């Protein structure tokens, strides 16, 4: 007798939005959106968090920006070249979506951004490549000029 599968697949995906703001005026200067790849390590991170495994009860806590433009793959465990990292500023949940927003002052993200990722687990911290990579998105924005802008990175994770 074969097994009966009654489960429903719960796809997970989303997008990343980068908003650049003039630090002097608060005026939005640019807004860029990109698709978001949830990597295998990120899917495992979710499963371990749902299963309340030791070390996995901290959620997605850090956002990192990188300068490598290699195409993300599901096997990625780090950004290609991490250049800036900061703790997620706010979280919001609405309609089956989780938004993790991180605000970077112009002085904290004065780089040519090519990639973005969220990191979680109790080992995630301010150090480069610490924690477990959840997502990997390509998004090109050069903030390395003489007048860098403040940046807000919204990683929107959609369930279903």
Residue 7 lies in a domain: no
Rounded Cα distance, 113 and 86, in Å: 14
Domain coverage including residue 72 = 12-159
Residue 58 lies in a domain: yes
Residue 19 lies in a domain: yes
SS (HEC) of 17-43: EEEEECCCCCCEEEEEEEECEECHHHH
pLDDT surpasses 60 at 1: no
* Mean pLDDT along residues 132-157: 94
- Residue-level pLDDT at 7: 62
Residue 112 lies in a domain: yes
Q: What is the pLDDT of residues 135-147, one digit of tens each?
A: 999 999 999 988 8
Residue 3 lies in a domain: no
45 compared with 112, residue with greater pLDDT: 112
- Residue-level pLDDT at 93: 93
Q: What is the pTM of this model?
A: 0.90
Rounded Cα distance, 85 and 101, in Å: 13
* Mean pLDDT along residues 50-62: 79
- Residue-level pLDDT at 159: 82
Count Cβ neighbours within 10 Å for each residue of 85-116 and write b for 16 or more, e otherwise.
bbebeeeeeeeeebbbbbbbebebbbbebbbb
**Total domains, the chain:** 1
* Mean pLDDT along residues 72-94: 96
Residue 4 lies in a domain: no
pLDDT surpasses 90 at 9: no
137 compared with 159, residue with greater pLDDT: 137
* Mean pLDDT along residues 97-125: 95
CA atoms within 13 A on the CB side of 58: 18
Residue 67 lies in a domain: yes
Residue 5 lies in a domain: no
- Residue-level pLDDT at 45: 85
Rounded Cα distance, 82 and 112, in Å: 11
- Predicted confidence band of residue 127 (pLDDT cuts 50, 70, 90): very high
Q: Over pLDDT 70: what percentage of the chain?
A: 92
Task: Give alpha helix (H) positions in the chain.
Answer: 40-50
In three-state secondary structure terms, 55 is: coil
């Amino acid at each position: 007798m074969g097994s009966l599968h009654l489960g429903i697949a719960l796809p997970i995906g989303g997008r990343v939005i980068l908003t650049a703001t003039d630090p002097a005026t608060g005026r939005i200067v640019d807004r860029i959106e990109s698709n978001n790849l949830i990597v295998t390590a990120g899917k495992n991170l979710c499963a371990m968090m749902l299963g309340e495994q030791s070390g996995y009860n901290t959620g997605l806590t850090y956002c990192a920006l990188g300068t490598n433009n290699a195409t993300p793959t599901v096997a990625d465990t780090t950004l290609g070249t991490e250049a800036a990292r900061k703790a997620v500023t706010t979280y919001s949940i609405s309609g089956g979506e989780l938004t993790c927003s991180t605000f970077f002052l112009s002085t904290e993200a004065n780089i040519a951004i090519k990639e973005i990722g969220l990191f979680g687990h109790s080992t995630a911290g301010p150090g480069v490549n610490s924690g477990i990579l959840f997502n990997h998105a390509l998004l090109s924005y050069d903030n390395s000029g003489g007048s860098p802008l403040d940046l807000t990175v919204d990683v929107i994770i959609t369930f279903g």
